[in-house]
Amino acid sequence: MDESAAERSGSARLVLYVSPDSHASLKARTNLAAIVERYGPDRVRFEVCDVSREPLRAEQDRILYTPTLVLKSGPPAWIVGDLSDRGAVAQLLRLVGIEETS
């Protein structure tokens, strides 16, 4: 597998697609914030995209379900769901060579 610049630099870029008034989306935001905190903002950067405000972006990323976490650096990977299973995020980040520090 060829390594991307992001991987070598040791940082990951994520987009979390959410919809308003969605319980699962709200939970995902909270869960993701907590997870990222453990990695440190310099290693994992994330952005939240509200599909109701930016439907075109959701279309481009072919988002059907919310919340969906999309890995934007490295190989394509998605996680659908509220991220209550933190292991899934850890696994996703491992794809770009980022391991939990503690």
Partner 1 sequence: MKLTEVTKLTTGVPGLDRLTHGGIPEGRATLVTGRAGTGKSILALQIAAHLAGQGMQPLVLAVEEPPEDLAVTGNTLGFDLSGLIDAGKMRISDATRPMSGPVVVAGEYDLGGLLHRIAATVKETKARVVILDSVTALFSPRPPQELLRSLFFQLVHALREMDVTALMLAEAEEAHGALTTLGVEDYVCDMVLVLRNTVDGERRRRSIEINKYRRSAHYKGEYPCTITSKGLAIFPMAVGRALPSTQDRYSSGAPGLDTMLAGGLFRDSIVIVRGPTGSGKTILAGLYAHAGASRGERVVYHGFEEPQPMLMRNFDRIGLPMDKLYEKGLLRVICRYPESTGLEDLLVMLRDGIEEFQPALVVLDSISSIEHATSQKGFRQFMIGVASMLRETGRGALLTQNVRVGTDREAEPPFLSTISDAIVNLDYEMERNTLRRTLRVVKMRGSEHDVRPARLVITRGGVRVEPDVALASPAEEQLASSLSGLRVLVVEDFADARESLMALLTRAGARTMAAGSATEARQVLAADGAPDIIVCDVGLADEDGYSLLASLRRSGGPLARVPAVALTAWGRPEDRERSTAAGFEAHLVKPVEPAILVSTLLGVARTARPPDLSGRIVGP
Residue 73 interacting with partner 1 (CB under 8 A): no
Q: Which stretch binds partner 1 (CB under 8 A): 8-16, 23-31, 32-40?
A: 23-31
Q: Which stretch binds partner 1 (CB under 8 A): 4-12, 36-44, 74-82?
A: 74-82
Sign of dihedral through CA atoms 99, 42, 23, 56?
negative
The answer to whether the beta carbons of residues 11 and 43 sit under 8 Å apart is yes
What does DSSP say about strands 68-71 and 77-80: parallel, antiparallel, or unpaired?
Answer: antiparallel
Which one among 6, 44, 66, 73 touches partner 1, defined by CB under 8 A? 66
Residue 52 interacting with partner 1 (CB under 8 A): yes
Q: Which stretch binds partner 1 (CB under 8 A): 2-10, 35-43, 52-60?
A: 52-60
The answer to whether the beta carbons of residues 12 and 96 sit under 8 Å apart is yes
Residue 35 interacting with partner 1 (CB under 8 A): no
Q: Which two tokens stand for residue 49?
A: 């995209």
The answer to whether the beta carbons of residues 7 and 95 sit under 8 Å apart is no
Residue 1 interacting with partner 1 (CB under 8 A): no
Residue 36 interacting with partner 1 (CB under 8 A): no
